[in-house]
Amino acid sequence: MRLAILPKRPLRARLHENARMKIAALQMVSGTEREGNLDAARALIAQAAAAGARLVALPEYFCLMGRRDDDKLAIAEQPGAGPIQAMLAQAAREHGLWLVGGTLPLAGGDAAHVRNACLVFDPEGRQAARYDKMHLFAFAQGSERYDEGRTLEAGSVPVALQAGALRVGLSICYDLRFPELYRALMQPPCDLLVVPAAFTHTTGEKHWELLLRARAVENQCYVLAAAQGGRHENGRRTWGHSMIVDPWGEVLACREEGPGPALAELDLARIAQVRAQLPALAHRRIFAAG
């Protein structure tokens, strides 16, 4: 399994440059109309920027929570073109920040499937990275049933990028349950793992915080998780609890339900401190092949 990355300099060499950065997980309760969702996302990005955030993330499906699984097919965009991508690029440029654009549907290999893609834009509004969700969610409990494979085409390549002084690893929602993805992203180690999500209320109540804190502790880095959080027009209820977790597993910020930002400060010195006190990453003996 290859890893799409940009080169990164060692943490010690980066401590003096922008060692602290305010980051924000933007929680939404997206509806069934794209334009209304884009307006809500713009407002949240502006709110986080006004609070000093230099890197912000939107949730999975921020642009549409349709009434049917295949509603996303109707708004799917070609890479590099379309109103959703234009809004993300413009917002990043307007506020001069790194924007992890949650997810949006990009054209897949056939008319019945799309890619659930996470695009990252730099402070100039240029696309800096794209990650396509690798693990497709399926769940069945009574009348609550989901099968993303019906409309989604899975990605195959883990993606990390250099966002200023930070190395950032990308993942999406159900990916959170697969620690091998995050281990792949930690070669070399990330400073921040980002998880746009739309966890169901059922699974989120039991597993969301547990898994986020585990990913932070085992990889000794910050985790920023931007979620859908509330009761949606389509009847679905998402768990919310967008949060930022530090390398020791401490929850620095959490928005339990409803739209709004969860903000906290990322400190490269804190990462260095944790890795020096407990050098678990250096003690690893099993590495992914490839």
Point out the residues that are catalytic. 60, 133, 173
3-state secondary structure of 136: coil
36: left (phi over 0), alpha (psi -120 to 50) or beta: alpha
State the number of CA atoms in the 13 A half-sphere of 150 facing the CB.
10
Closest CA to 179 of 270, 102, 284: 284
DSSP string of 69-94? Answer: TTHHHHT-B-TT-SHHHHHHHHHHHH
Closest CA to 176 of 203, 211, 147: 211
Closest CA to 119 of 149, 148, 154, 77: 77
DSSP string of 221-261? Answer: SEEEEEEB-SB-TTS-BB---EEEE-TTS-EEEEE-SSSEE
User: Which pair of tokens denotes residue 138?
Assistant: 């399926």
> Angle at CA 111, nearest 5°, toward 108 and 113?
50
